[in-house]
Amino acid sequence: MTTSTSLRRTLAGDLRPAETVMIEGFVHRRRRLASVLFLIIRDRSGLAQVVITEDRERAEQLGEETVIRATGRAVANPQAPGGVELVDPELEVLGEPDGPPPLELWRPGLKASLPTLLDHAALAWRHPARQRVWRLAAAALQAFRGALEAQDFTEIATPKLVGGATESGANVFRLDYFGRPGYLAQSPQFYKQIMVGVFERVFEVGPVFRAEPHDTVRHLAQYTSLDAEFGFIHDHRDVITMLRSVIAAMIEAVAAVPGADLDLPAVPAEFPVIHFAEALALVGADPGEPDLAPEHERRLGEWARTEHGSDFLAVEGYPAVKRPFYTHPQPDDHRWTNSFDLIFRGTELVTGGQRLHRLADYRAALAARGEDPEPYADYLATFGYGMPPHGGFAIGLERFVAQLTGAANVREVTLFPRDLHRIAP
Amino acid sequence: MTTSTSLRRTLAGDLRPAETVMIEGFVHRRRRLASVLFLIIRDRSGLAQVVITEDRERAEQLGEETVIRATGRAVANPQAPGGVELVDPELEVLGEPDGPPPLELWRPGLKASLPTLLDHAALAWRHPARQRVWRLAAAALQAFRGALEAQDFTEIATPKLVGGATESGANVFRLDYFGRPGYLAQSPQFYKQIMVGVFERVFEVGPVFRAEPHDTVRHLAQYTSLDAEFGFIHDHRDVITMLRSVIAAMIEAVAAVPGADLDLPAVPAEFPVIHFAEALALVGADPGEPDLAPEHERRLGEWARTEHGSDFLAVEGYPAVKRPFYTHPQPDDHRWTNSFDLIFRGTELVTGGQRLHRLADYRAALAARGEDPEPYADYLATFGYGMPPHGGFAIGLERFVAQLTGAANVREVTLFPRDLHRIAP
């Protein structure tokens, strides 16, 4: 059971009839027939079938997830995955599992509760259907960056250890930073705005941290934020246009993942836009409501579908009272703002908008809220250096993938989720 | 001084003679001559010259870093940046600075101490030479990912909030995680290994955290780690080969950044490799030394230059006592390991190697060090599921850029560095 290591590895997906080929992978499944044993080998490209007729007793011992190298003849067999199988193999064990795995990866679906999947995440992600979920996420990440780089955005890397809360003090993680208080950044908001002063167009993909005390299907203590910010805009409508191009690229990339098999939305040439006040009227809500309830968003999603044939709807003009202090007001009526939420199939997917860019406006906005400007001194300095009109948006990777795949819980699409109860694995 | 907003913006770098063009950017410099005032406008593409002959008094007031829109006629002038300048402009102010900026960005070099640069980072990065430094970093990031994606690596996003120290308990940030102890991840090491069991080949670009109590030119409390890990290797030499292809792509990308003007190394077809024991002998060090001193690395760099005509040298076989417990031993002599450092021009640039992949080997390695396996239970579980031989490497983005640019201090090439003394801006 030893074999030449000089032979180059062939991936399962590349298997073609040949005299001698070598494959390597995990024993995904053993299928025992009377006259023959099949080992189904899984590698990063897919599955390959190895046919064992001799020395069967030894091969029978190779439990699921054993890592093996198989060298043999590749022959056509329409019944085998990919139409080719490996016969007369020499087998070599590269890595032995410590007993049968606690999940049966060879079954088409993983029949386990969410807590069990999360406890055994290292194993559960090996399941082909789970792998596919993350491949969608990875494709979305790559497309997000590619779409922005193609439009002259520069990637940035900003501090996750900060001296003050970014978004609100309510759900921030505190830590001891060399003897003084430090916080984990809740978003790169301030830094991406600062960097608009440098590169005009910037993006960052990175972890953000929220000490969410609530146990919901949409919140995590750490998630991956896809942030973009850019200058020299007219108003938030330019941000919606840019967001559309990015979302289109991300969905195109997700659609190209082999086996994705998703009910993916068509991305319209322009996202339909409705004003917050009209949206309230449309769903029959009190015109004084400061926010949209989930039920309102759901009905707006239906309306966009019916009225515009679109799975997407941008709601602009959110009330100033519900938006952060850096939000740019609607020029003709300061009750409203130049900010928006993008609703996808009835659920909020992205938040964005135009920001204030004048120092005097920042000072006034903080004063109006009775906030001390001192903790924001480093941030405010930027606006004292001269800044263009600018805006941006942030997409939560996990929510994006959950909504595209129809996952009920963001934890299903997060490699190793962190929440109120979970800091491992 | 108002202008039509329906005209599309032209970037400075795209300026060609035309009847009416509109540019937007920062007033980089005012040059006052007797008969004319030049406004040099900076945008993300470069500089453009605007010639003011009328209404000069108002334009004189536009201090450096004022954000303006200028609409006028573009005419050829060989003296102007890019050979074209804007004449008879209408000017519109988009954003006003709050007085003269504390750094003179129009000077060819920023004459300021490092602490001053860091205190005014938001402004200092606007300087064209500083911009270029970060553009190198962004190009390196993009190339790192591109090189690995082209070789079938999958991007991952792993937890930065963890239940135990990854690399060593010595320099870990502790925090209160919903009432129990939590830590900031010192590296994605364990998670990238776990994910090799899923996708075989994975990478992650993200922040890592070290509570470094020492104030050195090479250490930061947060840096950007470029991590790769892959399975089905023969040994660490496969890792060195992969690393070479990635470094080659990164340096090619850096070289393509406009105005880079760096003394970039040629990347040899293969990195020369020397064993740690030979390296000690070569520099005349005690054969019992467990590590290379900076002076040793410097002399090895010179030797690689002279002997191999290479700016790079991989030193393999580092002593087991100086490497983490997950390091794979050298099969024929367990005093040494299948790990390596890549030395670039006499300084360590990358660390990598083959890891253990059998559960029994992990248990033995921890026992030999007298370490309790319990804190590693989630990590060790992976090896109990069956794992292929694997290895990887990690490149510190800031060190990489510092070494390529000859920066004396990693803080010079970090957007907003974090260290013992600094958590702002």
pLDDT digit string (tens) for A212-269?
A: 988 999 999 999 999 999 999 999 999 999 999 999 999 999 999 998 889 999 999 9
| CB–CB contact A126 B387 (8 Å) | no
Crossing angle between the packed helical segments B189-199 and B377-384, to the nearest 10 degrees: 20
Strand partners, B51: B38, B87
Helix (H) or strand (E) holding B89: strand B84-95
> Would an 8 Å CB–CB cutoff place B99 in contact with chain A?
yes
The alpha carbon of residue A45 is apart from the nearest alpha carbon of chain B, in Å, by: 9
| Structure tokens given for B1 | 């001084």
Task: Report the CATH fold assignment for B121-413.
Answer: BirA Bifunctional Protein; domain 2 (3.30.930)
User: Residue A189 — φ and ψ, nearest 5°?
Assistant: -50, -55
Number of A:B CB contacts under 8 A? 254
Sign of CA dihedral A299, A305, A311, A314: negative
Please name the member of A174, A381, A420 whose beta carbon is closest to the beta carbon of B175.
Answer: A174
Taking CA–CA distances from A190, the nearest residue in chain B reads: B425
| Structure tokens given for A119 | 């406890």
User: Residue A222 — φ and ψ, nearest 5°?
Assistant: -135, 130
Q: Please compute, for residue B335, the number of CA atoms within 13 A of its CA located in the half-sphere on the CB side.
A: 8
Chain A residues closer than 8 Å to B99 by CB: 384
Query: Which three-class secondary structure state does DSSP give residue A119?
Result: helix
Q: What is the pLDDT of residue B3?
A: 46
Q: How many CB atoms lie under 10 A from the CB of residue A308? A: 16
Map A398-420 to HEC letters: HHHHHHHHCCCCHHHHCCCCCEC
pLDDT digit string (tens) for A345-364?
A: 999 999 999 999 999 999 99
Chain A residues closer than 8 Å to B131 by CB: 198-199
Name residue B39's amino acid: L
Of A185, A166, A171, nearest to A216 (Cα)? Answer: A171
Strand partners, B412: none
Taking CA–CA distances from A199, the nearest residue in chain B reads: B44
Q: What is the pLDDT of residue B38?
A: 97
Q: How many Å apart are CA A326 and CA A333, to the nearest integer?
A: 16
- Contacts of A111-117 with C-beta under 8 Å, sequence gap 24+, read A114/A409, A114/A411, A114/A412, A117/A412
> Would an 8 Å CB–CB cutoff place B140 in contact with chain A?
no
| Structure tokens given for B276 | 């740690």
For B257-412, where are the E strands, in sequence order?
273-275, 312-316, 329-330, 333-337, 339-344, 347-355, 390-396
Q: What is the pLDDT of residue A164?
A: 82
Taking CA–CA distances from B214, the nearest residue in chain A reads: A178
Q: How many Å apart are CA A317 and CA A321, to the nearest integer?
A: 11
Secondary structure of chain A: what % helix, strand, coil (to 5)?
30, 30, 40
Tokens 């043999």 correspond to A72
Query: Which three-class secondary structure state does DSSP give residue A334?
Result: strand
* Site from A155, A224, A254, A359 to mutate, B interface, most B CB atoms within 10 angstroms: A155
Contact assessment for residue A182 and residue A161, using Cβ atoms and an 8 Å cutoff: yes
Chain A residues closer than 8 Å to B198 by CB: 122, 125-126, 131, 134
Q: How many Å apart are CA B32 and CA B55, to the nearest integer?
A: 14
Q: How many CB atoms lie under 10 A from the CB of residue A403? A: 21
> Would an 8 Å CB–CB cutoff place A93 in contact with chain B?
no
b/e map A210-238, b = 16+ CB within 10 Å: bbbeeeeebbbbbbbbbbbbbbbbebbbb
DSSP conformation letters of B212-268 = --S--SS--SEEEEEEEEEES-SSHHHHHHHHHHHHHHHHHHHHTSTT----PPP--
| Structure tokens given for B338 | 């299948």
What residues have CB less than 8 Å from A97, skipping those under 6 apart?
A63, A64, A65, A66, B384, B385, B386
DSSP conformation letters of A204-262 = EEEEEE----S--SS--SEEEEEEEEEES-SSHHHHHHHHHHHHHHHHHHHHTSTT---
Query: Which three-class secondary structure state does DSSP give residue B25?
Result: strand
| Structure tokens given for A192 | 């991406």
Please name the member of B155, B387, B420 whose beta carbon is closest to the beta carbon of A138.
Answer: B155
Strand partners, A276: none
Please name the member of A66, A358, A418 whose beta carbon is closest to the beta carbon of B96.
Answer: A358
Omega into A425 within 30° of 0, i.e. cis? yes
Q: Please compute, for residue A301, the number of CA atoms within 13 A of its CA located in the half-sphere on the CB side.
A: 18
Of A425, A422, A419, nearest to A223 (Cα)? Answer: A419
Q: How many CB atoms lie under 10 A from the CB of residue B369? A: 11
Chain A residues closer than 8 Å to B201 by CB: 44
b/e map A328-353, b = 16+ CB within 10 Å: bbbeeeeebbbbbbbbbbbebbbbbb
Answer yes or no: is pLDDT of A7 > 70.
yes
For A45-108, where are the E strands, in sequence order?
46-52, 67-76, 84-95
> Would an 8 Å CB–CB cutoff place B135 in contact with chain A?
yes
Q: What is the pLDDT of residue A167?
A: 65
Of A375, A319, A310, nearest to A342 (Cα)? Answer: A310
A12-95 matches A121-413 in fold: no
| Structure tokens given for B405 | 């640019």
Largest Cα separation within chain A, whole Å, is: 83
Taking CA–CA distances from B119, the nearest residue in chain A reads: A378
Would you give the DSSP letter of residue B419? B
> Would an 8 Å CB–CB cutoff place B299 in contact with chain A?
no
What residues have CB less than 8 Å from A360, skipping those under 6 apart?
none
Answer yes or no: is pLDDT of A397 > 50.
yes
Helix (H) or strand (E) holding B139: helix B128-149
Interface of B with A in 354-383 (CB under 8 A): 357-359, 378-379, 381-383
CATH superfamily membership of B12-95: Nucleic acid-binding proteins (2.40.50.140)
Q: What is the pLDDT of residue B6?
A: 74
- What residues does each domain of chain B span? 12-95, 121-413
Would you give the DSSP letter of residue A83? G
Taking CA–CA distances from A221, the nearest residue in chain B reads: B161
Query: Which three-class secondary structure state does DSSP give residue A143?
Result: helix
Q: Where are the alpha helices (H) located in A89-187, listed in sequence order?
A: 114-119, 121-124, 128-149
Helix (H) or strand (E) holding A17: none
Reading chain B (425 residues) residue by residue, the pLDDT tens digits are 444 457 899 999 999 999 999 999 999 999 999 999 999 999 999 999 999 999 899 999 999 999 999 999 999 999 999 999 999 999 999 999 999 999 999 999 998 999 999 999 999 999 999 999 999 999 999 999 999 999 999 999 999 999 987 666 679 999 999 999 999 999 999 999 999 999 999 999 999 999 998 899 999 999 999 999 999 999 999 999 999 999 999 999 999 999 888 999 999 999 999 999 999 999 999 999 999 999 999 999 999 999 999 999 999 999 999 999 999 999 999 999 999 999 999 999 999 999 999 999 999 999 999 999 999 999 999 999 999 999 999 999 999 999 999 999 999 999 999 999 999 99
User: Residue A328 — φ and ψ, nearest 5°?
Assistant: -80, 130
Please name the member of B149, B159, B184 whose beta carbon is closest to the beta carbon of A418.
Answer: B159
Taking CA–CA distances from A234, the nearest residue in chain B reads: B5
